Amino acid sequence: MSQDTAGRTTYLLVDGENIDATLGSSILGGRPTPEQRPRWERVLQFAQQTWQQPVKGLFFLNASNGNLPMPFVQALLAIGFQPIPLSGESYEKVVDIGIKRTLAAIAQREGDVLLASHDGDFAPEVEVLVDDPDRRVGLLAFREFTSTALAGLTARGLSTFDLESDVAAFNVQLPRLRIIPLEEFDPLRYL
């Protein structure tokens, strides 16, 4: 890939439901408290710093119940995200469908992509993006919960960034049980 990124954009697509569900059920064992939730402004900053170019942050929300969480939507707008509230039938995975369509649309234009999700449903669209030699593609997730379909794309060029250790998206240390690279091991955490 050319090093000239002038005029390029990083598209940051956030699967908020997936991140929240993984955090709540798989890591915390219950609904996250406000201090346990990601600091989304840090995620945007990380996206901008990663490839040193402007970021278009798209935050996908399921609004099928007819309600929009206005305080959260207003907070997203204030920090620079574009909320995308989608609705559909009860059997439709509206956020997944919206993200899949957006990834397919990005494949038809220039730009780099960061996807915040663990969901293997996006693997076919991410694979198309990864196979483009003029595009950088990354995944923001908790590594230990990333689907095998997405994790398998790292060998083909998908970059992965851990939401806690790489992005520093949290104000508190999460109670995760994961493989710890020796360079990250802090014995004081366990004493």
In a domain, 2, yes or no: no
Per-residue pLDDT, 54? 96
Q: Are 13 and 103 in contact (CB under 8 A)?
A: yes
In a domain, 94, yes or no: yes
Q: Give the structural domain span for 44.
A: 10-190
In a domain, 1, yes or no: no
CATH of the domain at 19: 3.40.50.1010
Per-residue pLDDT, 53? 96
Q: Output the pTM of the full model.
A: 0.89
pLDDT, tens digit (0-9, with 9 covering 90-100), for 163-185: 998 999 998 888 776 667 788 78
Q: pLDDT category, 74, cuts 50, 70, 90?
A: very high
pLDDT, tens digit (0-9, with 9 covering 90-100), for 84-136: 999 999 899 999 999 999 999 999 999 999 999 999 999 999 999 999 999 99
Mean pLDDT of 73-78: 96
Number of folded domains that form the chain = 1
Q: Is 22 exposed, middle or buried (0-12, 13-18, 19+ CB in 10 A)?
A: buried
